[in-house]
Amino acid sequence: MSEKAFMVNNQMDKETPDSAYTEVMEKIACAATTSALAVPEPVLVAVSKTHDASAIEPFIQLGVRHFGENRVQEAEAKWPALKAAYPEVVLHGIGPLQSNKAAQAVALFDVIETIDREKIAKAVATEMEAQGKRPDCLIQVNIGEEPQKAGVVPTEVAAFYDFCQRELGLPIRGLMCIPPHDQPPAPYFALMRQYKDQLGVEVLSMGMSADYEEAIAFGATHVRVGTALFGERKA
Ligand SMILES: *Cc1c(COP(=O)(O)O)cnc(C)c1O
């Protein structure tokens, strides 16, 4: 990394949305073209959790179309007005879901990335039926098999996918993961790519501010980037 790039990274809060967006898009393009897999350029999902509408709007104006929120309640407070103003926006639910929030999640999100257990899959399927709305769904994989982390363990992904698709009729488009944060992510990204290819699904959502370029090298189709765009989150 050049000295200049290093300084830019350390002055994140002084960056404008414009310069942060340009930098992230350049890195995405570069990671896609230099990948040995010759992967197509992935979709940027801007993770706007904790940031309010006034921080989000400049990114919509710059051309960002996909946004991610991890809390249903917070998303419900911010997004209905923004979606009314910008109907082209695609909103991703990227946080752990509880079954008592399934109705709101189905109503609000265009993509639910965190189908992570049978109970949630069933609750979401029931709500889709009731509302006549079918957001795209991803299965969250607990790729590091961490006890504290949500997601389906790797050995159960294929069976869970079949259950969701065949028994519940959920529109499962692919897989999502958050690898262990204290280890190099590359081996986990490589495994995710294998599972995606084995299932023959389209979408692979992986990579955050610290590692999205690496995720792209392993075939991420969607990267979820918060801090590198918006700066540090308020606690
Ligand atoms: C917060 C969050 C992100 C973005 O993290 P950054 O490190 O700020 O880019 C991505 N994915 C999920 C599931 C998140 O909760």
pLDDT exceeds 70 at position 186: yes
What is the whole-number distance in angstroms between the Cα of residue 49 and the centre of ligand 1?
8
Helix axes 53-62, 72-85, angle to 10 degrees: 50
Q: Residue 14 has what pLDDT?
A: 65
Q: Residue 200 has what pLDDT?
A: 97
pLDDT exceeds 60 at position 136: yes
Pocket of ligand 1, beta carbon within 6 A:
47, 49, 70, 94-95, 178, 208-210, 224-228
Q: Residue 6 has what pLDDT?
A: 45
List the residue whose alpha carbon is closest to atom 11 of ligand 1.
224
- Are the C-beta atoms of residues 54 and 74 closer than 8 Å to each other? no
Q: Which atom of ligand 1 is nearest to the CA of 114?
A: 13
What is the whole-number distance in angstroms between the Cα of residue 130 and the centre of ligand 1?
31
pLDDT, one tens digit per residue, over 21-49 is 999 999 999 999 988 877 889 999 999 99
Q: Assign 234 a pLDDT band (cuts: 50, 70, 90).
A: confident
What is the whole-number distance in angstroms between the Cα of residue 167 and the centre of ligand 1?
31
pLDDT exceeds 70 at position 15: yes
What is the whole-number distance in angstroms between the Cα of residue 207 and the centre of ligand 1?
8
Q: Residue 140 has what pLDDT?
A: 98
Query: How far, in Å, CA of 95 to CA of 214, rounded?
Result: 22
Q: Which atom of ligand 1 is nearest to the CA of 230?
A: 8
What is the whole-number distance in angstroms between the Cα of residue 148 and the centre of ligand 1?
17
Instruction: Give every CB contact of residue 176 below 8 A, 6+ residues apart in sequence.
Output: 94, 113, 114, 138, 139, 140, 141, 203, 204, 205, 206
Pocket test for ligand 1, best of 15, 21, 24, 47 (most atoms within 8 A of CB): 47
pLDDT, one tens digit per residue, over 149-184 is 999 999 999 999 999 999 999 999 999 999 999 999
What is the whole-number distance in angstroms between the Cα of residue 233 and the centre of ligand 1?
10
Q: Assign 1 a pLDDT band (cuts: 50, 70, 90).
A: very low
Mean pLDDT computed over 205-234:
96
Q: Residue 39 has what pLDDT?
A: 81
Q: Assign 19 a pLDDT band (cuts: 50, 70, 90).
A: very high
Q: Which atom of ligand 1 is nearest to the CA of 47?
A: 4
Based on the number of CB atoms within 10 Å of its own CB, is 118 exposed (0-12), middle (13-18) or buried (19 or more)?
A: middle
List the residue whose alpha carbon is closest to atom 6 of ligand 1.
226
pLDDT, one tens digit per residue, over 87-117 is 999 999 999 999 999 999 999 999 999 999 9
Q: Residue 34 has what pLDDT?
A: 87
Q: Assign 235 a pLDDT band (cuts: 50, 70, 90).
A: low
Query: How far, in Å, CA of 161 to CA of 138, rounded?
Result: 10
pLDDT, one tens digit per residue, over 44-75 is 999 999 999 999 999 999 999 999 999 999 99
User: What is the DSSP track for the chain?
Assistant: --HHHHHHHHTGGGS-HHHHHHHHHHHHHHHHHH-TT-PPPPEEEEE-TT--HHHHHHHHHHT--EEEES-HHHHHHHHHHHHHH-TT-EEEE-S---GGGHHHHHHH-SEEEEE-SHHHHHHHHHHHHHHT---EEEEEE-TT--TTS-SB-GGGHHHHHHIIIIIT---EEEEEE---TTS-SHHHHHHHHHHHHHHT-SEEE---TTTHHHHHHTT-SEEEE-HHHH-SPP-
140: left (phi over 0), alpha (psi -120 to 50) or beta: beta
